[in-house]
Amino acid sequence: MAKSVHKHEFGPPVRFTFLDEGRPSTGDAWREGAHVWLEPPTLRDSFGWELKREGLCRDAVCIPLSARLGLVEGGRVDLTALADALGRPLVLDAEERAAYLGAAAQERAETLRSLVAPDFSLPDLDGKLHTLREQRGKKVLLVAYASW
């Protein structure tokens, strides 16, 4: 396996919020420019990936590390390189210490082809939760806005 000559000067970790598959988690991470580095336990707990002899693995899928120079350095995993290796978009706000790992393009395309909107819940003006699933088979008008 080729060795990287890039040396990382990691200071103290900062607490990050991670979002993956709609599931939030928190863990320690190290920021370096546009990159966020994770220790293996944080990577496992937040994203389900484990560093093994075969590479970086989740269930039956493994990414060989020899093919991904820079993915793992100094025992830490670069979240930006992982997102790139998985073909998944990463939205990273280093200042706010938040990272969102989006769905892969293939997964998004399959969802769009199905013409079925993902389920979600929203409260009405009285605070009662309603799900999109409750409205299946009915015409629904959904109005969304943002203040920004």
- Measure Cα distances from 143 to 114, 140, 147 in Å: 22, 10, 14
3-state secondary structure of 134: helix
Name the DSSP class of 132.
Answer: S
pLDDT at 7: 54
Percent of the chain predicted with pLDDT > 70: 91
pLDDT, tens digit, for every residue of 97-107?
A: 999 998 888 87
3-state secondary structure of 2: coil
What pTM does this model have? Answer: 0.67
How high is the mean pLDDT of the chain? 84
Q: Which amino acid, 122?
A: L
Task: Identify any residues that bridge with 91 across adjacent strands, giving them in sequence order.
Answer: 100
Considering only CA atoms, which of 120, 115, 125, 145 is closest in space to residue 135?
120
Q: Is the pLDDT of residue 144 over 50?
A: yes
CB neighbours of 95 closer than 8 A, spacing ≥ 6?
A: none
Give residue 15's pLDDT band: very low, low, confident or very high (50, 70, 90): very high
Give residue 8's pLDDT band: very low, low, confident or very high (50, 70, 90): low
pLDDT, tens digit, for every residue of 35-79?
A: 889 999 999 999 999 988 888 899 988 888 776 667 888 888 899
Are residues 47 and 101 in contact, defined by beta-carbon separation less than 8 angstroms?
Answer: yes
Considering only CA atoms, which of 8, 38, 12, 35 is closest in space to residue 26?
38
Query: What single string gives the DSSP state of each residue in 43-67?
Result: HHHHH--EEETTEEEETTEEE-GGG
Q: Is the pLDDT of residue 128 over 80?
A: yes
pLDDT at 67: 60
